[in-house]
Chain A
């Protein structure tokens, strides 16, 4: 539910589990989690390092196999059994990762990165001018100037600019779901606001579902409609952001909140 409207389910999972290794060396990274992400919803998955956030996100993306459980994509069971189907699935779900410096092919110029996106979404035969226009539009969506970027290589941009270019790619591809895995953790606090605002803009303008993975509960509170709190591979609490973060019930959520520095209330340093 958002703004009183009933939302269509977009990605849901039942009993999703990932086990690494076997026998004595078995590690259960994600342990029977259930979730329902709806269209046009901003969902955050919050947890500490090692809680299984990234493993879950890799399963959602279809990068690693699911040990047990089912994932439904747009109401139908997800089928990524072969390469072709996987590619089709990735037209519906895309990702932004933590490290923008590692996300680009450093031999490709910025314009060819964007051109690839246009070709990927099936507009290969558009006239050149039309492609230029689309790329300019995508860049201005993220407050970048296309004319200044065309002949640059990704490493000539700053971290914040790279991450914004990543969002420009998403804007061109227009997937149903965007999975953002800690997109702001390598960016300083001032550029962070810009990135978050752009993600919100994607949701509002294209009705994209955004799955935001973070360890910073403050960020999750600011941007999301719904929050899932993850501890040791399980969701310990979930619900609307206001409810979960302002009135937490699980001990783990309470601890996470107490660990973040605050400005209106005193920060209790004795409880570590």
Chain B
């Protein structure tokens, strides 16, 4: 077992709306990532993926509030730290975060090298600009970005190039954890592949120690990450290796998600896509029992009254359902 890079225990965060209502967007999430491993987070829109990403940074600003739980990065507890301390000491060199529209964050009036200087000076104000340039040049070259990019403005770059530049800048301090929230969703397939290759390179060259990758594109997760975790209504409903999750999902929600995979390979045309009916529940008033019960094709009357606990299997897989593993397989075989 490798060194644990990120450990999260029972993390709970909430949004407070302007009518002072609480929305529990991340509700008791626990996870662990070892050095050199990557974790994918899947789920449909509105299930709390992006809120989880924001919560993991440990940097909270309204309307997002921290309630309880621990976030431990490489042995250092960051939950409960003051926001300013988190910003100065954690973001950038311990945890890096790439939001969904990261490429739009580049100020059009500045050269790319200024952003690199900004990031480095925020943590080490004394580093000379020449050294920064050399470091950036070397890093960009390793990652397959031309050196000239550093002297360009954001408007001169294409979308895919901007996205890769942002990723290179945000990982310039070699963070321990990279949280990537849909880094390739706005790109076409070719640029997407380049972004994915770059993230793979970052891992292989040791510029980042571990990665959390959030997306709803399951074939992508399958190819990029070691483990996949499925979220629903702010909770983790299933966790397992990528292969297990795609070919042998246990939770009915994961099964529904895996039924929406479309790839250009033989046999896919004959498969019937399954869509999950309905929408995720309103988290202002989460359902009493199982949160997925209303949309679950296998729901029993007991599901609505009883909260399912996480079941851990001997091989390390986890899922949150009232059915036992044997029962689940039986139900799927008959369906």
Q: Does A246 lie within 8 Å of B262, measured CB to CB? A: no
Q: Binding site of A, secondary structure by majority: helix, strand, loop or mixed? A: helix
Q: Does B261 lie within 8 Å of A215, measured CB to CB? A: no
- Given A48-B190, A216-B189, A259-B192, is A190 in contact with B275 using a C-beta cutoff of 8 Å? yes
Q: A265 within 8 Å of B by Cβ?
A: yes
- A217→B183 CA distance, assembly (Å): 20
B-chain residues with CB within 8 Å of residue A191 when the two chains form the complex = 44-45, 275
Q: Which of B151-183 contact A (CB under 8 A)?
A: none
Q: Does B188 lie within 8 Å of A222, measured CB to CB? A: no
B-chain residues with CB within 8 Å of residue A259 when the two chains form the complex = 189-190, 192-193
Q: Does A188 lie within 8 Å of B193, measured CB to CB? A: no
Residue of A with least CB distance to B196 = A269
- A245→B268 CA distance, assembly (Å): 12
Q: B325 within 8 Å of A by Cβ?
A: no
Q: A241 within 8 Å of B by Cβ?
A: yes
Q: Does A264 lie within 8 Å of B265, measured CB to CB? A: yes
Q: Does A272 lie within 8 Å of B194, measured CB to CB? A: yes
Which of B113-121, B214-222, B299-307 sits within the interface? B214-222
Q: Does B261 lie within 8 Å of A263, measured CB to CB? A: yes
Q: Does A256 lie within 8 Å of B279, measured CB to CB? A: no
Which of A54-62, A91-99, A193-201 sits within the interface? A193-201
Q: Does B269 lie within 8 Å of A190, measured CB to CB? A: no
* Cβ proximity bits B236-274 to A, threshold 8 Å, 1 near / 0 not: 000000000010000000001101111111111100011
Residue of B with least CB distance to A222 = B262
From residue B127, how far is it (CB to closest CB) to chain A in Å?
32
- A215→B160 CA distance, assembly (Å): 15
Total A-B pairs in contact (CB under 8 Å)? 112
A-chain residues with CB within 8 Å of residue B219 when the two chains form the complex = 218, 260-263
Q: Which of A189, A218, A241, A257 contacts B216 (CB 8 A)?
A: A189
Q: Does B275 lie within 8 Å of A197, measured CB to CB? A: yes
B-chain residues with CB within 8 Å of residue A216 when the two chains form the complex = 189, 262
Q: Which of B224, B263, B279 contacts A218 (CB 8 A)?
A: B263
Q: Does B193 lie within 8 Å of A222, measured CB to CB? A: no
- Given A222-B273, A261-B223, A272-B193, is A188 in contact with B264 using a C-beta cutoff of 8 Å? no
Q: Which of A48, A188, A257 contacts B44 (CB 8 A)?
A: A188
Q: Which of B65-120 contact A (CB under 8 A)?
A: none
Q: B8 within 8 Å of A by Cβ?
A: no
From residue A253, how far is it (CB to closest CB) to chain B in Å?
10
Total chain B interface residues with beta-carbon distance under 8 A = 40
* Cβ proximity bits A195-239 to B, threshold 8 Å, 1 near / 0 not: 011000000000000000001111111100000000000000000
Q: Which of B265, B268, B276 contacts A265 (CB 8 A)?
A: B265
From residue A171, how far is it (CB to closest CB) to chain B in Å?
18
* Cβ proximity bits A134-159 to B, threshold 8 Å, 1 near / 0 not: 00000000010000000000000011
- A221→B271 CA distance, assembly (Å): 12
A-chain residues with CB within 8 Å of residue B279 when the two chains form the complex = 158
A-chain residues with CB within 8 Å of residue B197 when the two chains form the complex = 269, 272
Residue of A with least CB distance to B279 = A158
- Given A188-B45, A190-B257, is A260 in contact with B189 using a C-beta cutoff of 8 Å? yes
Q: A119 within 8 Å of B by Cβ?
A: no
B-chain residues with CB within 8 Å of residue A189 when the two chains form the complex = 44, 216-218, 257, 260-261
- A217→B193 CA distance, assembly (Å): 14
Q: A86 within 8 Å of B by Cβ?
A: no
From residue A23, how far is it (CB to closest CB) to chain B in Å?
25
- A213→B197 CA distance, assembly (Å): 27
From residue B156, how far is it (CB to closest CB) to chain A in Å?
17
- A191→B218 CA distance, assembly (Å): 13
Q: B277 within 8 Å of A by Cβ?
A: yes
Q: B200 within 8 Å of A by Cβ?
A: yes
Q: A36 within 8 Å of B by Cβ?
A: no
- A128→B196 CA distance, assembly (Å): 55
Q: Does A263 lie within 8 Å of B190, measured CB to CB? A: no
- A209→B46 CA distance, assembly (Å): 34
Q: Does B189 lie within 8 Å of A263, measured CB to CB? A: no
Most chain B CB atoms below 10 A, which of A158, A188, A256: A188
Q: Does B259 lie within 8 Å of A193, measured CB to CB? A: yes
Q: A192 within 8 Å of B by Cβ?
A: yes
Q: A49 within 8 Å of B by Cβ?
A: yes
Most chain A CB atoms below 10 A, which of B190, B192, B263, B273: B263
Q: Does B260 lie within 8 Å of A263, measured CB to CB? A: no
Q: A267 within 8 Å of B by Cβ?
A: yes
- A143→B276 CA distance, assembly (Å): 12
Q: Does B192 lie within 8 Å of A218, measured CB to CB? A: no
Q: Does A218 lie within 8 Å of B262, measured CB to CB? A: yes
B-chain residues with CB within 8 Å of residue A256 when the two chains form the complex = 189-190
Interface residues of chain A, those whose CB is within 8 Å of chain B, are 48-49, 143, 158-159, 188-194, 196-197, 215-222, 241-242, 245-246, 255-257, 259-265, 267, 269, 272
Known contacts A190-B256, A196-B273; 5 further A-B pairs (Cβ under 8 A): A256-B189, A261-B224, A261-B263, A263-B263, A263-B265
A-B contact pairs, 27 of them (CB 8 A): A48-B190, A159-B45, A189-B44, A190-B275, A217-B264, A218-B262, A218-B268, A219-B262, A221-B264, A222-B268, A246-B266, A255-B190, A256-B189, A260-B263, A260-B264, A261-B220, A261-B222, A261-B224, A262-B219, A262-B264, A262-B265, A264-B266, A264-B267, A269-B200, A272-B190, A272-B193, A272-B194
